[in-house]
Each structure stands twice: as C-alpha cells, then as structure tokens.
Structure 1
C-alpha cells in the first residue's frame, strides 16, 4: 500500500524537513509526499481504487500507535492500494473535505504547525510500518 502525504505549504530546508527525511527513508512501504501551495492548488486526482483518505484535524480521532498500525495493516490486508494523509495550512481544511474523508486523525487536542505535523505524521507512519513488520523500534508497555 502506498502511503501518500499531501501537505499544504513548503517545508524547505528546515529542522522539520530533516526529521521528515529521516523517517521517510526508513519506511519500507511505498511512500510519497506531495506539497501544495498554502492556498489554491488541487489535491492530485488518482485512478487507484480502493483508496483511503485521512485528514489531519484537531477534532479527529486520537489513536495510540498500536491502534494506528492495526488500522493501516487492516487496510493493507483489505487491498487498499493508497492511503492519503492530508495536512492543511493555517486555516485547516474546509468542511467538504473533512466530510468526505474516511477518517479524521488528531495528534492530541492541540493545534500543531503544519511542518511539525508533517514530521509527526511521518514518524508515526514509520512507527506503524515497523510495528507491522515486527521491528523493535516501538516499545509497547
């Protein structure tokens, strides 16, 4: 399954970009990042089916890492070919996009800067795929 992060804003050369790169290199599944401008620019269309869309939103579900890994593993095993993770700009996502998502995901009740949210998401994707492969990175308990 392809893990596709679609994020508003350019991360450029920053400490957050270094974290994203560090964890992205470790992900053994298909992985891709698409950057969109803060305003405008369309989420790429895709002919892949089935597809899951996860929108990062402060009102979303908060999943422990093991549950997040289990969800991704279930989607993979069900034949989902791509899971998209959408990170918004400062104003977040519009209600239409949130309503059309398969899942709203939050990293706690706080609002995070989009660059930091991107680093946190990619780390959680690495953690989830390492859990599913039996790698000792995640220490449960």
Structure 2
C-alpha cells in the first residue's frame, strides 16, 4: 500500500518544506508497522495555458495520467466534504483492507481542479471552508496522513 500526495506546482526549500518533510518522515515510519510501503510527494508542473479553465483541464489531465488504475483518489477542494480525523483514518483503513494498492491525495493549482479529476475522485475532501495556500495544504494533509496512521496504530498522538 502506497500513499501519494500529488500536487500541482513546486514547493521551495525553507521552513514550509522542512515541516512537510518532517510529517512525511513521521508518516513513513509509523506507516511501516501498518503495512504501508511508501508515503511520497509528487509535484506536477503548473499549466501555462492562458485561460483558467484550460489550466485546470491541463493540470487535471497530468494528475490523472499519473494515477494508477486501481488507486483511490482523494481530491482536496474547499467545496468538498469535511471529515473528522478519526473518520478519515477509518476510510483509509477500509480502503487498505479492501486491497487498494495506492491512495492519492490531489492538490490542484491556483485555479482549482478540472472537472475530469473531480469526476474521478472517490472523495472530494475539504480541509474547512477557507481557502488555503497550496504549500500549507501539503503540510496539513501530510499531518493528517500521519495522524490517521497513529489512530490506526492506537498511538496517543491523537487525543480524543
């Protein structure tokens, strides 16, 4: 079972990148005991199209092209469904128990996601009603993956 955060755009070195790397490392270490083989970050180039709709379509196509056929897709979007951390942990565990080979969390570009990606999503997930910078969304979802693993492992990191 592999987890992937697939994001449009590049994250520069600095404090944000360091924090992202810290949560990815924690998730990798905790996930091993749960049967998780990898927790990876993949970055895709931003589209250079002139119109926002064309940029969204181009970026959606790039994300979909990299998506393995049997992967579960979680699209991060402010219009999506909110979930508690335990509910997310349960959903992820359920997919793993079904034999899902890969779970991909997709973070769109500045214009959002194209319809093709949203249509393919197994879950459209909101991290609240606010709009977040893409760098922070990467950190937040990496932390939630780590948190889900600690919940599944019975670790006290997530306190109820």
Same fold (TM over 0.5): yes
Q: How many angstroms does 1:97 deviate by?
A: 1.2
Name the residue aligned to 1:17: 17
CA distance in 1 between counterparts of 2:152 and 2:3 reads 14
Distance 1:94 1:64, change over 3 A: same
SS at match of 1:25: helix
**Do the aligned residues in 2 keep the contact of 1:50 with 1:79 (CA within 8 Å)?**
no
- Structure 2 gaps of 5+ residues are 48-57
**Deviation of residue 45 (structure 1)?**
3.1
How does 1:1-141 map onto structure 2 within 5 Å?
A: 1-27=1-27, 28=31, 29=36, 30-39=38-47, 42-43=62-63, 44-47=65-68, 50-140=70-160
Give the number of equivalent residue pairs. 139
> Distance in 1 between the 2:122 and 2:42 partners?
19
1:138–1:78: structure 2 CA closer, same or farther, 3 Å change rule?
same
Q: Which structure is higher in helix share?
A: 2
Please identify the structure whose Cα radius of gyration is greater: 2
TM-score (norm 1): 0.92
Root-mean-square deviation (CA, aligned residues, Å) is 1.4
Aligned-pair CA distance for 1:14: 2.5
In structure 2, the residue corresponding to 1:84 is in which secondary structure? strand
User: Structure 1 residue runs of 4+, over 4 Å off?
Assistant: none
Greater mean alpha carbon deviation, residues 22-31 or residues 84-93: 22-31
Distance 1:26 1:98 in 2: 29
